[in-house]
Structure 1
Amino acid sequence: MSAVVSPPLVADPFESLNEGQREAVVHGSDGDARALLVIAGAGSGKTMTLAARVAHLIQRGADPHRLLLLTFSRRAAGEMVHRAGRIVHQALRLPSTTRPPSLPWAGTFHAIGARLLRDYAEAIGLPADFTVLDRADAEDLMALVRQSQGLAATKLRFPQKATCLAIYSRVVNSQGTVDGVLREAFPWCLGWEAELGQLFAAYAAAKAQQHSLDFDDLLLYWSALMEAPELSAHVAARFDHVLVDEYQDTNRLQAAILRGLRPDGRGLTVVGDDAQSIYAFRAAEVRNILDFPQQFPQAARVVALERNYRSTQPILEASNAVIAEAPERYAKTLWCDRPSSARPRIVTVPDEMAQARQVADRVLAWREEGIRLKQQAVLFRTAHHSAAVELELTRRRIPFVKFGGLKFLESSHVKDVLAVLRWAENPRSRIAGFRVAQLVPGVGPANARKLLDAMDASATPGGVLPEHAMPAAAREDWAAFAALWSRLRETPAWPADLDAVNAWYLPLLQRLHEDAPARQADLAQLTQIASGYAARERFLTELTLDPPAASSDEAGPPHLDEDYMILSTIHSAKGQEWGAVQILNVVDGCIPSEMSTGDARQIAEERRLLYVGMTRAKQHLELIAPQRFFVSEQARHGDRHVYASLSRFITDKAVACFERVSAQRPPGAEGAPGPSAVPDVKIDLASRVRDRWTR
């Protein structure tokens, strides 16, 4: 009887890793059970390192179903799973027909939180059919509660719904108090602490009554779950390893969740870069990563990845010089083996219009050198900083795409269709019900409220809707909708449910919107997305937590061009890279923003923001410093021009890493001629103007 011979393992499936990456990947193989912190510098291959660590754990016998991988976007989770699967495939020499192991617990904090809360709903007092409010719906609910509390009729200005929700979110995610959050981030709202506390209590009660959670609740309830000794050990025991990407972007609530999952640090790996912590406005807490090693009984092991695979050495030297002045950081010096004679440049220009012309000139010059427009980016601190550049690029016929705009789920037609599904999934959702009921011709706000009040008062709200009397003008259309809604409730079939809703909604779409064909394309995309989910509840939750980026409303000529460049805020550019990068307004007042210089923490984050922008560049980097620029200060002096100096972050040591260039507009260059001397004449024009009214 011949022995069964197993296929030989690859000698070293991780041979392409550098020394630091390998150290991070194999941590624990020598019996070291401490938590692991990987400080991954910009462009140092952190995604590959984390994926390789996942593959290494699986190769050594870890159950893929007991690995928890937490990221900040579904796309990042998918990329990580794909790379890890490919490495495992190579390491074990699996047949090409064998699918690599899946990682069912890979996803965003919010998505994983939603799944766990669904699993433990009965045990923690949540309704099993809870739905998740997107940001717009949460704002609408906050507005309704705000009005019901009498806060819309105050004699003094009370914060609007979006501000109220932002304050609530900041309090929850920072684990702070209303008073503390107002003093730190919303000082213009001071004086309303008591009223806001009452509003938030009523808002929480309204969500509970409607069987709904918002984004912040998904983390808040998960954190509370990990604080309950009756259940926390059970949740933690479901996972052997917990791996977290972009740890510098976590807030205090997320850090508390991780400590609950791994109180001793065993099996915990976090990857991040303190120098790229730039989301304090979302309550991200840089101290999470700075203090991580000391948060466990045994201090965590720290591995730094310093070899950069993105930028040239001169760009890295300039970036290192900027971040080296940070008062508190993990010491690391990015380096690469890509020498270059081209140093990054500091370009001084007279004003914003000259800055716009400089940007366009360089874009075209780089294009002629072989750098496609798609490999070029213009970055800026705040979205409105690019206004002059957008005008100049349009005038010069240089196509561009600006990150931002109308999001897919913010489109009214998409919200309509999803609201029907949400209302069928959760008949106590007043936000979804109020929106959908008024889609039916003949049903107005008053009739919609009467229906919702009747459903709220009933122990079986699903039975109220089909029997509810509507105005005579709406009865036929209402009967058709009630039949659809009842079928969705009683005999759900996914994704056929979405097809049924679309068929009902199509006549309304054509009645409500002149551009119905373009909007139908969005609904077709929604149908395609739905086919990837096994259940309606999972589709609604995942789509709310990680929506597609844009809708047909945002489509424009640049998308149809042969090539186009990128305009982006630095915050939106994080994680991206381009061959050539120009950063606008690198002057005090813009970087750092004059609104973010109130304390040392804000200034430190502004430094990190500039560092993130600089490290997006692969071959060419230019920082542009207009000497004079236009600002809008409606709260103080109105619109005015100001004179600025080079950003305080470009110190004398940093300046030495740059080439200094002055881009003054040459005489006779294209543009409007300057004013000539006023003719030496004397006329009484004022009298002429006055006299025309007395003739």
Structure 2
Amino acid sequence: MAKKKATEPRPKAKVTAKVAETKAKPEPKVQLKGLVEPKAHGQNFPAKATSRATLRASVKPAVKARAEDAPQVASTKVGTSVLNDSQRKVVEHGRSPLLIIAGAGTGKTLTLAHRTARLIVDGAPPDRILLLTFSRRSAESLLQRVAQICNESVSNDAEGGACAPARTKVWGGTFHATGARLLRSQGARIGIDPRFTILDQSDSEDLLEVLRTELRLAEVRKDFPKKGTCQGLHSGWINSGLKLDAFVNASFPWCKPHLDGLRKLFEAYAERKRSQNVFDFDDLLLFWNRLLAEPVAGPLIRKRFDCVLVDEYQDTNPIQSQILRQLCPDGQGLTVVGDDAQSIYSFRGATVRNILDFPKQFPDATVVRLEDNYRSTAPILDATNTIIRQVSEGFAKELRASRTGGQPPQLLACADEYAEARAVVDRIVRHQKDGVPLRQQAVLFRASHHSLAVEMELARRQVPFHKYGGLKFADAAHVKDLVAFLRLAENPMDLVSGMRLFKLFPGIGQKKAQGIMEEVIAAGGGLECLARSKVPAATAPSWDTFRSLLGTLTRTPSPSVTGQIDQVLKFLTPLVRQKYDDPEQRIEDLNKLRGLGERYEDRSAFLAELTLDPPSSTRDFATAGAREGDKDALVLSTIHSAKGLEWEAVTVINATDGGIPSARSMESAAQLDEELRLFYVALTRARTWLTVTYPRYRSSPQASWGGFDQPTLTRFLPARIRRLFESRNA
């Protein structure tokens, strides 16, 4: 890959307006607030999947400093003496557009928190500051830091200034949640009913499958794309801003023969969503963008905020970029933070162009680089700095280690994937004996199936592990069952939720469930018509109880969120015991969901939260202290799910061409650049020990001789870079 240093990215302006995604009840420190009409003053992986506890005394990393260990400010008026020079420039910057290129482990969150606090001290009303992140948990964490800094500043300032109310008034949330919030409050101006419900990815797939069947597309062409492919194609198309045929040609060329059928399917999908008053994730951005263009609502929303701060800007997509340009046309008050070297989500519609072109979009933008790394040792950074220079375009940066000493990263050649697995587990056990907890070690891989041999070896040697990158808690069938009750009560036109509920009853299948739900829709969402539904004899005994439950849930005023969940659990618990394996664990999951409901004052806020920012597992409901007390276990994770995390010891496996870069992502320079960035993200998760492994032979049913093929070491480690590693044979 040709090496090409990026010149200063040309200013590109985009403000991502994120409004508090939910109306959560006040927490002790930070409250995320909902958007309201402006007053006269002018909506993978657990955030802390691994513990960051200090190592036992027997482990002696070169230095203990890390990003979050950077000193906290305790000086008057949010002092900056404890920050490094680059961080201080960020904090003291005025209101002109600001782009922060924050390298891995450089204290980005601390810096952004200090900048937010400084804006408040300098006179920005906290309730006119909008902080946009990519998860609610990230927003809460950052706002807690802002509150802490402001509280410390107040304790050193008799007057307290504007910092005092910061902890309860700064806005925070995600793009999608902000869109949902704005559309509920202002969407009537563009014809949106604020009582809409939101489809998650699997719900969107289910609705597309209903329409795919109605249109008989698979009968005409047996190879017509399945529902998952249709959903992914539709989402990518919407976020790309391209015409359908252009997008299919570029990203799904094998679907070109089905273009006419896909067009019919997507037209029917848009109409069905409109008629049932449901939105998918992409609609929240699409209609928010339209709302900002509306002559009355657009200016109203723009005037609502003086300062907008956007985290993880490299992960935004073209529609989010358009939203930002409409929200902050001249870039005043706009701060975006990100790292082009960690842009790895193009499969979700994100584009690295947004961050690279920011200076072009905003010619008066200031670019500040954070390059002092508080995470990794110098030998690790020497290797990763050299590796990322191979990217064809990017902001030039050189991460500098704050830690001294350290071992060079290891490159381990193994006979085959089974020898690789044994060598990996040997190292893990050795680290554990030396005092590194399993939870502070991770094995990372490009695709989930790459870890199968390692999982087998771990099981054989009875080493506990957690694997991330699979099914999320909110996608589990029993969780979706409970949520469907609340969604149908919130929006009786919701076809997917209604069908899911009806199919819980014996004798009701897909066709019967759809027929009943069509009767409800024909009645304008009147659930009373269920009394006239002809249901199978096996269902009749519980049907009246079911209708009574729906009546309770739709009553005005409705019970509290926990009250509604309690009512559903009384009805659902016997069905869970009849329908699912391991029912007691599933019931425990549902009770934990009830605990989450205690935070919300209304059902729509709870449903929005659960759909837009779902917990990855039941561990997400636990406090940080409770998570620390979990059984010590190794972390296995896809690289995508590991972004933003760190461990003392990291092993990256299957570093081969076809592994990383993936065999499916080697057709263009842009694809290879993203694969290189993905490899870089994996390597920069390591604090003290980094190992990269690869097999010389690999079993393969496609191999022409002996059932093995001979993979080559990843192209991202050419000879000149391998000199920075300590190479060994397993």
Equivalent pair of 1:406/1:551 in contact (CA under 8 Å): no
Look up the equivalent residue of 1:84 and give its one-letter code: V
Alpha-carbon offset, residue 54 of structure 1: 1.1
- CA distances 1:280-310 after superposition (whole Å, capped 9, x unpaired): 11111001100011113x4311000000000
Equivalent pair of 2:196/2:277 in contact (CA under 8 Å): yes
The separation in 1 between residues aligned to 2:377 and 2:660, in whole angstroms, is 24
The separation in 2 between residues aligned to 1:211 and 1:90, in whole angstroms, is 47
Look up the equivalent residue of 1:654 and give its one-letter code: I
Tell me which residue corresponds to 2:257: 191
Alpha-carbon offset, residue 562 of structure 1: 4.3
Determine if the alignment matches structure 1 residue 45 to structure 2 residue 107.
yes
Aligned pairs for 1:427-438 within 5 A: 427-438=492-503
Tell me which residue corresponds to 1:163: 229
- Tell me which of 507, 519, 538 is aligned to 2:605: 538
- CA distances 1:570-597 after superposition (whole Å, capped 9, x unpaired): 1111101111111112222212122111
The separation in 2 between residues aligned to 1:567 and 1:314, in whole angstroms, is 24
Determine if the alignment matches structure 1 residue 578 to structure 2 residue 647.
yes
What SS does the corresponding residue of 1:304 show, helix, strand or coil? strand
- Tell me which of 564, 569, 572 is aligned to 2:638: 569
Aligned pairs for 1:629-640 within 5 A: 629-631=698-700, 640=707
The separation in 2 between residues aligned to 1:543 and 1:364, in whole angstroms, is 38
Alpha-carbon offset, residue 638 of structure 1: 11
Alpha-carbon offset, residue 466 of structure 1: 4.2
- TM, length-normalised to structure 1: 0.89
The separation in 1 between residues aligned to 2:205 and 2:198, in whole angstroms, is 13
The separation in 2 between residues aligned to 1:358 and 1:117, in whole angstroms, is 54
What SS does the corresponding residue of 2:305 show, helix, strand or coil? coil
**CA 1:560–1:241 in 2, change beyond 3 Å: closer, same or farther?**
closer
Alpha-carbon offset, residue 426 of structure 1: 0.5
Equivalent pair of 1:59/1:91 in contact (CA under 8 Å): no
Equivalent pair of 1:109/1:219 in contact (CA under 8 Å): yes
Aligned pairs for 1:12-411 within 5 A: 12-28=78-94, 33-93=95-155, 101-103=167-169, 105-296=171-362, 298-411=363-476
The separation in 1 between residues aligned to 2:511 and 2:372, in whole angstroms, is 64
Tell me which residue corresponds to 2:656: 587
What SS does the corresponding residue of 1:102 show, helix, strand or coil? helix
The separation in 2 between residues aligned to 1:378 and 1:130, in whole angstroms, is 42
Tell me which residue corresponds to 1:493: 559
Equivalent pair of 2:442/2:637 in contact (CA under 8 Å): yes
What SS does the corresponding residue of 1:101 show, helix, strand or coil? helix
State which drifts further: 8-17 or 569-578: 8-17
Equivalent pair of 1:383/1:569 in contact (CA under 8 Å): yes
- Which of structure 1's runs of 4+ aligned residues deviate more than 6 A? 558-561, 636-639
Look up the equivalent residue of 1:448 and give its one-letter code: A
- CA distances 1:64-123 after superposition (whole Å, capped 9, x unpaired): 221111111111111111111111111122899x77522463111111111011111221
Look up the equivalent residue of 1:339 and give its one-letter code: T
What SS does the corresponding residue of 1:16 show, helix, strand or coil? coil
The separation in 2 between residues aligned to 1:276 and 1:62, in whole angstroms, is 31
Question: What's the Cα RMSD here?
Answer: 2.4
Equivalent pair of 2:493/2:524 in contact (CA under 8 Å): no
Alpha-carbon offset, residue 519 of structure 1: 1.2
**CA 1:473–1:583 in 2, change beyond 3 Å: closer, same or farther?**
closer
The separation in 2 between residues aligned to 1:561 and 1:522, in whole angstroms, is 17
State which drifts further: 71-80 or 37-46: 71-80
What SS does the corresponding residue of 2:504 show, helix, strand or coil? coil
**CA 1:366–1:196 in 2, change beyond 3 Å: closer, same or farther?**
same
Equivalent pair of 1:631/1:639 in contact (CA under 8 Å): no
**CA 1:638–1:172 in 2, change beyond 3 Å: closer, same or farther?**
farther
- CA distances 1:447-506 after superposition (whole Å, capped 9, x unpaired): 433432222222462443345454555444211111111121123111211111111222
State which drifts further: 586-595 or 212-221: 586-595
Tell me which residue corresponds to 2:29: none
The separation in 1 between residues aligned to 2:650 and 2:261, in whole angstroms, is 47
The separation in 1 between residues aligned to 2:390 and 2:379, in whole angstroms, is 18
Aligned pairs for 1:640-651 within 5 A: 640-651=707-718
Equivalent pair of 2:344/2:675 in contact (CA under 8 Å): yes
What SS does the corresponding residue of 1:13 show, helix, strand or coil? coil
**CA 1:432–1:51 in 2, change beyond 3 Å: closer, same or farther?**
same
- TM, length-normalised to structure 2: 0.84
Equivalent pair of 1:13/1:87 in contact (CA under 8 Å): no
What 5-or-longer segments of structure 1 have no aligned partner? 1-7, 664-695
Tell me which residue corresponds to 1:668: none
**CA 1:625–1:121 in 2, change beyond 3 Å: closer, same or farther?**
same
What SS does the corresponding residue of 1:122 show, helix, strand or coil? helix
The separation in 2 between residues aligned to 1:587 and 1:471, in whole angstroms, is 56
- Tell me which of 628, 631, 634 is aligned to 2:697: 628
Equivalent pair of 2:699/2:707 in contact (CA under 8 Å): yes
% of aligned pairs identical? Answer: 45
What SS does the corresponding residue of 2:153 show, helix, strand or coil? helix
Equivalent pair of 1:321/1:653 in contact (CA under 8 Å): no
Alpha-carbon offset, residue 49 of structure 1: 0.9
The separation in 2 between residues aligned to 1:595 and 1:471, in whole angstroms, is 48
The separation in 2 between residues aligned to 1:531 and 1:39, in whole angstroms, is 39
**CA 1:444–1:182 in 2, change beyond 3 Å: closer, same or farther?**
closer
State which drifts further: 101-110 or 63-72: 101-110
- Tell me which of 470, 483, 487 is aligned to 1:418: 483
**CA 1:646–1:515 in 2, change beyond 3 Å: closer, same or farther?**
closer
Q: How many pairs were matched up?
A: 645
The separation in 2 between residues aligned to 1:581 and 1:493, in whole angstroms, is 48
**CA 1:21–1:104 in 2, change beyond 3 Å: closer, same or farther?**
closer
The separation in 2 between residues aligned to 1:333 and 1:374, in whole angstroms, is 30
The separation in 2 between residues aligned to 1:458 and 1:117, in whole angstroms, is 26
What SS does the corresponding residue of 1:264 show, helix, strand or coil? coil
Alpha-carbon offset, residue 325 of structure 1: 1.7
Tell me which residue corresponds to 2:719: 652
- CA distances 1:496-519 after superposition (whole Å, capped 9, x unpaired): 111111112222222223422111
- CA distances 1:320-358 after superposition (whole Å, capped 9, x unpaired): 000112111101100023121511111112211111111
Look up the equivalent residue of 2:488 and give its one-letter code: W
What SS does the corresponding residue of 2:709 show, helix, strand or coil? strand
Question: For the pair shown, which has the larger CA radius of gyration, 1 or 2?
Answer: 1
What SS does the corresponding residue of 2:400 show, helix, strand or coil? coil
Tell me which residue corresponds to 1:693: none
Tell me which residue corresponds to 2:676: 607
